[in-house]
Amino acid sequence: MTAFSPFRRIARSCRSQLLRLVARSPSSIGRLLPRRFWTPPPGTIDFGDFGRTEPISVDFGFDRGVPIDRYFIERFLERNSSIVCGRVLEIGDNEYTLRFGGSQVEKSDVLHVDATHPAATIVGDISVPGTLPDRAFDCIILTQTLHLIFDMRGALAELARALKPGGTLLITVPGISPVDRGTWRHTWYWSLTENALEQLLASVLAEDGIEVETFGNVFAATCFLQGLSLSEVPPAKLDVLDKAFPLIVAAAAKRLPQ
């Protein structure tokens, strides 16, 4: 047995090198093999720049470029751009209304809590009943806002009431995400799963008018948590969906004609 030990050591070394090679190969090649071949064996992980206890950016990646979550948010809105039409309400500003609605938009409204905000056409808090006009909007765009409201269901009920029959709420919420350290740190209450958003929307709108989807995978989530920007990651890796890692959860929720 001892005489063969050098050969066994060589075999183990070759296998280890093969595992490293497969683990670093493109997924289209490496993942044709069983998981044990493309998963790096214990003790071979190279943490590199991620081997730190503080993120690369503490500002979601804004200080490095466009944050990764915006890639998913804007893909969702682009795919639903035909819905951004008629009278449209957006929260905070009307950037996405103009970008994705364009000439389809007949009237653009902006809701803001600050009455001095120059873009505000409606002032108030959507968690307060009666803030919005009844049955007024063909489309409401609510991106990355619901998690800042403790009474999420109350806010959604107000938005649902403000939709015209046949109108649609386009909403995105964070799933896997850092918590803001700045302006919103005291009102950052929630992160949501696909099931949670669907159930919340179903409590104020008909279930058959709700389409919920998720975006993200472990690579996207890791890079976003570290604060990398969109320009620093390959988009092809962001396009892979793994529902176990919901970075962004989005929904198009329609108020059905009554």
Name the burial class of residue 126, with classes exposed (0-12), middle (13-18) and buried (19+) by CB atoms within 10 angstroms of its CB. Answer: buried
Give me the count of residues in the chain: 258
Please give the pLDDT value at position 11.
63
Q: What percent of the chain has pLDDT over 90?
A: 80
pLDDT of 27 above 90 = no
Mean pLDDT, rounded, for 21-35: 57
d(CA 198, CA 208): 11
Q: 3-state DSSP: the chain helix, strand, coil percent, rounded to 5?
A: 40, 20, 40
Chain centre distance of CA 39: 27
pLDDT of 32 above 80 = no
Mean pLDDT, rounded, for 145-150: 97
pLDDT of 220 above 60 = yes
Please give the pLDDT value at position 196.
98
pLDDT of 250 above 70 = yes
pLDDT in tens, 82-124: 999 999 999 999 999 999 999 999 999 999 998 899 999 999 9
Residue 94 three-state SS = coil
Please give the pLDDT value at position 1.
46
H helices of the chain, in order, are 5-23, 27-30, 35-38, 68-79, 95-101, 152-162, 194-202, 218-226, 235-238
Please give the pLDDT value at position 2.
47
Please give the pLDDT value at position 43.
86
Q: Which domains are assigned to the chain?
A: 1-46 (no CATH), 50-254 (3.40.50.150)
pLDDT in tens, 35-93: 655 677 888 888 999 999 999 999 999 999 999 999 999 999 999 999 999 999 999 99
Mean pLDDT, rounded, for 12-34: 60
Please, are residues 23 and 40 in contact by the beta-carbon 8 Å criterion?
A: yes
Name the burial class of residue 104, with classes exposed (0-12), middle (13-18) and buried (19+) by CB atoms within 10 angstroms of its CB. Answer: middle
For 40, the token pair is 């790096």
Give the mean pLDDT of the chain: 91
pLDDT of 225 above 60 = yes
Please give the pLDDT value at position 154.
96
pLDDT in tens, 165-219: 999 999 999 999 999 999 999 999 999 999 999 999 999 999 999 999 999 999 9
Could you give the strand order of the β-sheet that contains 248-254, starting from the edge strand earlier in sequence?
A: 122-123, 105-112, 86-91, 137-143, 163-174, 248-254, 210-215
pLDDT of 26 above 80 = no
d(CA 9, CA 208): 62
Please, are residues 257 and 226 in contact by the beta-carbon 8 Å criterion?
A: no
